[in-house]
Every structure is written in C-alpha cells, then in structure tokens.
A = this chain, B = another copy of it.
C-alpha cells in the first residue's frame, strides 16, 4: 500500500486518513459482502442479520462463501479471533468479539481466542511480561462478558498454551522466511528475534481443526492472513477465511482508528457515566453547524459525525430508530448536543450491563481457559 495514489493508509500498524473501503477491497484483493451473500446467510441462519452485517460494518471477506458451503455440506467450520492484551479495552476493541459471539450463536461452532501476552511484551520495550499477563487476565474478563458459549469457546494465553501449539508453530515457522514476515509485519534488521518468530504463533490457531477457519477482524489485520493462506495447504490445512470490519472512528474525528495511546480518542470499558458524558460532550467530533441557528437552517452531517457513527456501528441497533436519528440530524431538527446525549445514554446503558457481566466473568475465567468442554479437549491435544 503506497500513499501516492490515496489519501489514506491502512497497514496492520497504522491507519491514517479517511479510509475509502471500496478502494481498500481492490487494494487488498478481498471480496465485498454483497446483498446476495447477506441474503444467503440470512436464509441459512433463518434469522435477522446482526446489525454490523446489515449496516456493512463487516463489509469485506475472503472465502466466506466457501465457509458457508462447508457449513451447509456438514463439514463445518470454526471461528478464531484474538487480542493483544492492553491496560484497558475500549469499545472499538469489542467489535470483533461481539460479532464473533453472534456467529457462534447462529452457527453453533467452536471459537478460539488467542491472547498474545508474548507479542505484546516483545513488541514494546517498556512492558514487562508480568504486565502483559496481568492485562491478559483483565482483558479476558471483558471478552467473557461478551457472552461466548463456555462449552464451545477456548481462551488461551500464548505463554501458557505454547507447549500444545509448538509443533505446528515450528512447522509454520519453517515455511516463512525473514524477508516474508519483514514485509508483512513491518519488521527491521534491528527487530528482536521474538517479534520475528511471532507470526508463526498468530497463524497456528488457524490450524487447530482440520476444517476451515473463519477470522472476524478489522481489515488492517488482513496481511497477516495472506501469509497463512500462502502456506496452509502445504501443511495439510485450509486457507483461513476472513470477514473484515471497518474501523470504529475515534472520538476525535472520522479519520484513522481509535488509539489506546490517546485516552481522549476512545471510550474505555471502565469509563464511568460521568467520564463517558464528559468525553463525548467535549471530544466527539461533530458534523453539526457552529451555531444552533445555522444548524437548524443547514442541518448536520451524520456521515462525519462521530456520535452518529458510533450509534450506527452498533449502539443503536434499531434500524427504524437510526433512520429517524439520521434524518432528524440531517434536517437540523436534532441538535449536536441532543445527538450526543442519545449516544451517551446508549453507551452508559451498554457499559453498565457490560460491567455487570464483567463481574460475573470472574467466576468463569477458569471455565473458558481450562475446564469448559472445548478447553478441556484443547489441553489434551498437541497440535502437530
């Protein structure tokens, strides 16, 4: 991806500018999730599509059609996603988990969630392994709170599960040379040898079953999976399929993606009601006019308004209601402050439920990591 013929950049380590998702599909060589595919999913699950599919938050894929074929033929498939543990998770981080959980519910399939406590430590000079493992625990609580099926979900930390993965990890590592991972992962000659090896650990879970693996993730992660697709079949496994999401815009505006390093660009899952209200009111980039008079006259622009975009992504799942909000904002009937208040209420409602579930999750960590039906099977298995 070069910047020369675009005003945006999307790589696994940087998202800059206003992303043109149609162009990205062409650049990355992925497939658009078109109406036909959506209708097919709808008819298979015999239910409404998830709001993120209806509204094209998940908008692109590789081999999703083949995944559906395998599902319908009885071969089945499995889901894989993961997280590089961080001090706090923000609402953008939940998107792949919320969507993965929905897919699990509808297709009744296994979900594997890799917590890369090793990579987070290796990639950041200032972090200790003790920190990234503590964050792993905290993040796992947030992930469990999303509501995965405890018998069909295995959450594992690399530093704990490595022995079970190591044979397949080194088989993968043997297929990848430094030049290849350098280009894909943005590594240098001065990169430490742990970060150079790590791609093999990220690819390994795509080979946990001899079925097709579907990975829900933001589209910037796609290059990682291209490496997997280059080598999977030579190891006797399937090329991993992906379903790609857009980036939830940061509070600060419609460009780039939410960043953990700028706390004012994001709402954290631990932000209390007051903080949420204050951050949205103060920082949320507005598509409104500078004065109430001008706003009433010319109306707001929901396409760049972050409060509206967040409601649209998933905080207002009611399609009728979101249409009303959009029209009222565009017409000038709904003021920026009012729109922000709608989001604040929705967010605080969401976060209150999340915090409750997060508390309950403390009792479930052992189930998802060690004792659940799938977890138990996984600890007995050495992946070759």
A122: contacting residue among B129, B162, B170, B181, CB under 8 A: B170
User: Would A166 and B196 be within 8 Å (CB), given that A129-B171, A178-B190, A189-B177 are in contact?
Assistant: no
* CB of A200 closer than 8 Å to a CB of B: yes
B170 adjacent to A121 (CB under 8 Å): yes
Tell me which residues across on chain B come within 8 A of A384, comparing CB atoms.
129
Contacts of A11-65 to chain B: CB distance below 8 A: none
Cβ distance A133 to chain B, nearest Cβ, rounded Å: 9
A118: contacting residue among B170, B176, B192, B196, CB under 8 A: B170
Interface string of A107-137 (1 = CB under 8 A from B): 0000000000010011000000100000000
Give this chain's copy count. 2
Tell me which residues across on chain B come within 8 A of A188, comparing CB atoms.
178
A159: contacting residue among B167, B176, B179, B189, CB under 8 A: B167
A189 adjacent to B193 (CB under 8 Å): no
Interface string of A175-209 (1 = CB under 8 A from B): 11111011000011111111011011000000000
Tell me which residues across on chain B come within 8 A of A162, comparing CB atoms.
162-163, 166
User: Chain A at the B interface: mostly helix, strand, loop or mixed?
Assistant: helix
| A192 CA / B181 CA spacing, docked (Å) | 10
* CB of A98 closer than 8 Å to a CB of B: no
A192: contacting residue among B166, B174, B187, CB under 8 A: B174
Tell me which residues across on chain B come within 8 A of A121, comparing CB atoms.
170, 174
* CB of A304 closer than 8 Å to a CB of B: no
A194: contacting residue among B122, B187, B189, B200, CB under 8 A: B200
B170 adjacent to A191 (CB under 8 Å): no
* CB of A173 closer than 8 Å to a CB of B: yes
B178 adjacent to A197 (CB under 8 Å): no
Tell me which residues across on chain B come within 8 A of A160, comparing CB atoms.
163
Tell me which residues across on chain B come within 8 A of A129, comparing CB atoms.
167, 170-171, 384
A binding-site residues for B, Cβ under 8 Å: 118, 121-122, 129, 158-163, 166-167, 170-171, 173-179, 181-182, 187-194, 196-197, 199-200, 384
Q: A160-B163, A197-B197 are in contact. List 10 more A-B contacts (CB 8 A).
A: A122-B173, A159-B167, A162-B163, A163-B163, A173-B193, A175-B192, A177-B191, A177-B192, A178-B191, A193-B200
